[in-house]
Amino acid sequence: MPQSGTARRNLRELPKAHLHLHMVGSMRPQTLTALAEEAGMAMVLPERFLDFKHFYTAYTLANRAIRSAEHLSRLVFEVVEDAAADGAVWVEPTLYLDSFTEAIGPGELILDIVADALRSARDTVGIGARLIVSADRDLGPADAVRQARLAARGDPDVIGAFGLVNDELAHPIEDFREALAIASNAGLALVPHSGEFGGPDQMAATLGLGVARIQHGIAAARDNALLQRLAGSEICLDVCPTSNVAVGAVESLDAHPLPTLLDAGVRVSLNADDSLLFGCSLLSEYELARAAFGFSDRRIAAIAEASIAHSTAPAPLKSSAVTDIHRWLADSGQ
């Protein structure tokens, strides 16, 4: 349902945070092509996906293009640079640290490489960034504990949160309590994936584990009690409309529950998830909110403000960004 008010302002100029994006999945297509050619690899990614498994196969193929510390540092820099180009003042890319064990080395080394690259990118590009270290459900609770311990030992200036990715139906979040507790005790925000393919029961279980944000979380729209619970909480859902449709979690944009979530008072951020694979960006998701959902500048500004407020950014950056969001909205006449 279109919102009242005429949209006038440039959405690129709206300060925002990008909170749900995967490092490899956010690679530039031209970078993937260049790295694949350098490695002598055939690299043709599908334009459409049959289901989540098909998508994940393509993701792992792209992952193989990262063959050195230099490749990884380039990836980190470009992800931060692209976030800034879309108007982000803060970005939190997600990475499973043992993704490049064979090509580069163990997670400990990867963390050092990424930390240095992230600091350099922040200084050069001029926006804030911290990493979300993730565990992979498919690799089991023991590996999740390893990832949590790696994250807990990292520099809190570089690592802000701990996530949990992959098949939530086969691997319920309760199986990962120990890993989540390790990360939480280290002061990291908990930001697991939940409620994309899993139902409200998975969402309810996730809410009981002290999470700060939920990546996806769209299943909440199917349960009024859960909607009310979320609306009364300080939890933000990091929603990715294009991604949800592309992997078949939602039938179409017309059926996407984003308006339902917002109408219920749930805090929501907008995100690209995997721009390399879905052909979207942080900016295009904001443009989609205006064009497909008819959101007014006021509603879009509220989404941007939620993304800032629920990020792991330091307080001065949050305060400055929120002030600039209010200025953007005032300039739009809304």
Residues belonging to the active site: 196
Read off the DSSP letter of residue 192. -
3-state secondary structure of 279: coil
For 198, other C-beta atoms within 10 Å of its C-beta total: 21
153 closest CA partner among 117, 182, 181: 182
Count helices and strands in the chain by DSSP H and E runs: 14, 10
Q: How far apart are CA 283 and CA 302, in angstroms?
A: 15
Quote the Cα angle for 138-140-146, to 5°: 120
Return the ∠ at Cα 91 (arms to 148 and 205), rounded to 5°: 45
| Residue 58 phi, psi (nearest 5) | -65, -40
With tokens 């302002």, the residue in question is 9
Given a contact cutoff of 8 angstroms between Cβ atoms, the answer to whether 164 and 135 are in contact is yes
Q: Evaluate whether 84 touches 126 at the Cβ level (below 8 Å).
A: yes
Q: Tell me the C-alpha to C-alpha distance, in Å, between residue 281 and each of 6, 9, 50, 141, 176.
A: 23, 18, 21, 32, 31
15, two tokens: 């300060």
- How far apart are alpha carbons 239 and 174 in whole angstroms? 22
